[in-house]
Each structure stands twice: as C-alpha cells, then as structure tokens.
Structure 1
C-alpha cells in the first residue's frame, strides 16, 4: 500500500496529471493488497475455526477493521473518480478547475460516513494522504493477526502431531516391557504427557494468538515466532522417559531387540507397499498410455516366520531362534528394498509428468523474460501442452511431444536478433 504526495499550493496542469497518475497506481496497489488479504489462507481458517480467548477477541476486532478498510477504500475510489471527472472537463483546465483539483487532491476532500473508531465517530474527513496512511495502519494490523495465526497453525499442530505419534510408539514400547500406568512412574508420566499434548493441541487450534511471541522492536506484520515452551517441555519429558525405557530394554537379551528391528522393517515394508498400491491407483487414474507395474501383497510368509521366532524366544529356544533371526534380518531388509523400488517404479509416470510441467513453465518464464510472451504461436503451443499436462488422464507421450513442440518454437523465436532490451528486431 502506498503513500500520497504532500499538500501544497494550487497545482498546475502537469502536477495534477502526475498526481492523478500516482493516485491511480496507489489505488491499484491498495486494491491488490485488500484482495490478497481477502484471499489469504489464514483468513479463511480464522473465519471457519471455533475460536476462543485472545484469538476470538482479536479476530472479531479484525473483522470490523477489514470492513472499515473496504469502506475507506470505497471512499478513496470515489474521490479519485471525482477528481478524474473534474480533470476530464477541459484539456487545459483553468484556474477554477486547478483550484478545485488542488483541493480534491491535497485537501480534506474525502468524506467517510459511518466510520466507527475508538471515539465512535459518525463520519470522518481525510486528505488522500491521510486516508492512505490510515488504510496502511489498519491493513498492517489486520495482516498481523492473520499472518500470526497462520504461522502458529502452520508450525505447532504439525509438531504436536509428530510428538504424539512418537508418544504412541513410546507407549507401545513401554507396555511391551511392563511399563504401565499405576505400575511404574514412567507409565504415569506417559499418561500425563498424553493429556498435556491433547490439551495443548486443542488450545493451539482454537487460540493460536495465545502461542505467539512478538519480536522485540519489530513493527512488521507477523514479526515474531510461535511460543513452543509447553511443546518443548513435553518433548523433553518424553525424551527422558524414552531413555528410561531404553535402559529397561537393555536388561533384556539381544534377541528381543533384534526381533523388534525386524518387526519395524517389515512394518515399513508393509506401509511402503500400501503406499505403492495407493499410488498405482492414482497413476492409473491420472496417467494414460503408461505401463504401471503391479504391486505385490504384504510379505505374509516373513510375518509368519517372525511369529515363529517370537515363540522361540518366549520358550527360550535360543538354538532355533539364532539362525532364524539371521535369515529374517536379511530377508526383511530385502523386502523393504523391494517395496521401495516398487513405489519408485509405480510413481515414475508422475515424476515424468512433474518434470514436463517444470520444463514447460521454465521455457515460458524464459520466453516472457526475453519479451516474446505475446507470440501467438508460442501461446497456442503452450496452451496445448498445458492442457495435456493438467488433464486427467494425461498421455505422457503426447504431452512430451507437445512440450517439445513448444520448446522448438520458443528456441526458434528466441534465436532471432534482439535489441539491448531483449526485444526481437
């Protein structure tokens, strides 16, 4: 958002024209800023969230501020329109028109009815400079609330979810070694951390502004960082418990640890294969004329052998368990590798499509930078390639040919002689 020029004596025609041009540019900048504020993802989240506490109060105030901003902008628009009409009366304005234009452009000519501020004024009068300054202030305050809430929502809930997932794995591990609530202090602490993370996430989602630390001395919207104090304390507590459980695990023999590792590898292989099966369906739906390899089912034989190994350990049949564990460790790693290779092979068409999209947009940017963006042939070939790449199902072979045709046309167009500004002669 911009700032108008200072007031002064009666303006001449050139000063008026320059002022109107500057005001038109400022009008466009203000409008773009307001529309961006309207479409900001953080604003949409705030409008749809069940807010509480500080965030609820500040967002209610911000919604009123945004409404007032639009009222100011409408008044600014009307004032600019009226000034342009006065200027359009005569090509060579006389003294009377210049005096009127000076008053409109530099005087308190903007009247805003019904503006509600701290003093509950029924109406306000501004110079254009004052109005732009006021809109800048309200815009910065509104943007600060939106950006701040969005920053907290973008940072903390995801981190809390990751910590909660780690907590779930730690609890499962704790149960496996007999660390349970009411039976071990670490089990009670795990329950306490679970309750804290549940409450913390709920509060972050409903009142994100309560978890923001403004930067000292910063006046820029969104200056500061999320307050992660409670999260950090929970993470440290969980890490302490995890170390304690690991100490308990060390009491067990090496065989249990090896079994857990094999189980984890097989679990990752299962998840990878499940992801590959899901990805295969997506590829078949989005990519045409492409051979997508089949995805094998879960390694049930290995899971059965893992269950046998657990039974050997339970019954202390170490002589049978040792060779079985050796083969299970090798075969589980091989299975995970095959699952990853399967996922890579299945998603290869999507990678090809992404590469073609990137190449197409890169050439378009180059064409635009060198001043050939309006070339009809380039526009036609770009649109054709883009339709192919952003349609479903996408025929990669045809799309690649379309991208190559656009590249060739762009190369031919850009290979001609150009002036110092990049324009073709």
Structure 2
C-alpha cells in the first residue's frame, strides 16, 4: 500500500470505529438488554436472549480487537511523516491481510494458546462485520422492547380500571367493596404480568377470566357511583310515582265502594292498598343511603321501582274490573230498554208472559245491590222469548 492508501484506509477505519462505538453504546444501554440479561426467560424470548447475548459477547471481543489493530496502525503511521518500506509493509499487513483469528463462534483468538482459529478476517472486514451484526443486535433488542411495551400496554388497561375502581370505592365508602378483594386482584394481575414478561415476544395478554373479574368489579363500582349521583333524582321520581299510586288506589277504592253498593257478590279481590308499604320502603331507602350501604340500596331501589310499577298497574286493573261490573249493569239496562222498544214496535208490550219476563229483568237490574248474573240471565230470557214471539207471530 502507498502512503496515501494507508492514510485513506486509516481514516475510513476511524470513521467506521466511531460508528461502531456509537452502536455498541446504544446496544449496551438498551433497556431490553437488561431484561435479556436478567434470566428466568422462557419461550421465544429465551431463544432470542441466547442468540443476542452470544452475539453481544462476540461483538465486544471483535470490537476490542478492532480497536487494538486500529491503534497499532495509527501508532506505526505516526512514527514517521513519510513511512519507509518496512512501515508500509507492516501497515499493509495490518490494513489488508487477514490477521484476526476467529473461533467458530466468532470470538477473537488473541494467541495460539487460546485455540486454533476457525477462520481469519481482515481488519476492514472485521469492521464491516461489526457494523452489520451490531445493527442486527440493536434491531433484535428493539423487537424485545416493543414486545415488552405491548405487554405493558395490554396490562395497563385492567390495571388502570382496577386502580380507578379502588379509588372510586374508597370515595364511595360504605359497603362498595363488600365481597371484593382489590389487593388480591392487583396481586394476581401483577403476577400475570411478571409471568408475561418472562416471554414478552410470545405473551398474549392478561388472563381473560382475571380481566372479566376486574371489569365486573369496575362496572359494579361505576354503577354504584352513578347510583349515588342519580339517587336524589331517582328518589324524587319514585316519590312522585308513589303519590300517583296513592291517587290510583284511592280512585279504585271509590269505584270498589260504588260497585259494592250497586252490585251483589262482586267477586272482586281485596281493594288495592300497597301505598303504605311503599312509603315505608321509601323511608328505608333513605336510611340505606345515609349509611352508605350502596349494594343493598341498589337492590332495594330496583325492587321498590318494580313494586311501584306493579302497584300502579294493579290499581288500574282493579279499577277497571270494578268499573266493568257497573258498566255491565248499564249495558244490560240499555239492552233491556232496546228489547222493550222492539216489543213496542211489534205490539207486544201488553203480552202477559213477555211483560212478566220484562218485570223480572227490570227488578233485578234496578234493585241495589244488583244480582248481575241473575239479571244477565233474565235479560237473555226476555230476549229469547221476544225472538220466539217474533218468529211465530203474536199468538
């Protein structure tokens, strides 16, 4: 090599060494390398750790050899501004000839005592190999870091949900956490994440059953928090609804009383009277709310709302049933009058038997209390006899 070729080669190697040095620093400071060196890994991550840690050991061995040979070349070149033939031959040997002995794994063998080299490499070739392998190792570490980040992200959501549920439950106080062990859930989640980090590359996320348990707790606490916020409005609405039940029951009792006066043996069930129990239940809800018994309050509030709806429906149904009896009597009276008018048009008003049947039906319908089944039979009997007379003519 000429002096200029030597100088260019050294400058190129210095630049390569600086790039490799930066890559080695990035590699050595990489957080994923700490994980791989920590041990206890399994699965694909354990395989990557074996590959990467082996490559790192080889890289440091070769990096040290590159530095030593570069220093050697720089020292020889610095001895004379114009190196002689002997210096140029030595520099040519260092810069061009395969002088670095490598084992089968790539480790540098400094002496024959360290073993017989499986191959020999030039210093520039060593620099090229170092740059390529260092880039591969940094890339592999990046994949491990990305996998670890993915695991952290997968576990962040249930961890945040659990932390929020715990904080909200503490804010609620009372029995919000009754039957739940937040610390145990947090411990299970932490153990699962630690296990996932043993093989972040192959990890699939938190156990579904554990996530479901955490989600259920978080939803329950969220529902209780929503209950606390909505309680004043719900209790106002419920109080109004109970007042409506009271009014509906009062109306139903009025119709009941009238039906009992006008209709004999109504066959109606007892008059509606749920409002007293509902008001007592409302008072119980207030006590539960003041004591912070949220779980019980949630159940009881739903129960009362259901009871109010059923009581209102029952009052309306019984009102309709009682009113129906009175309407039935009115309907029968109207039918009897219509049949009587028909008899008049046919000249049968004075018919003795028909008139007797009319009086029977009329007496039943206009006597209080009215025997509604008997009145119904009497009206039907009058109608049938009138039809018979109409069909065969007036006897």
Coarse TM-score class (shorter-chain normalised): 0.3 to 0.5
Task: Decide which structure has the larger Cα Rg and report it.
Answer: 2
Q: Which one has more relative contact order, counting CA pairs under 8 Å at least 6 apart?
A: 2
Whose helix proportion is higher, 1 or 2? 2
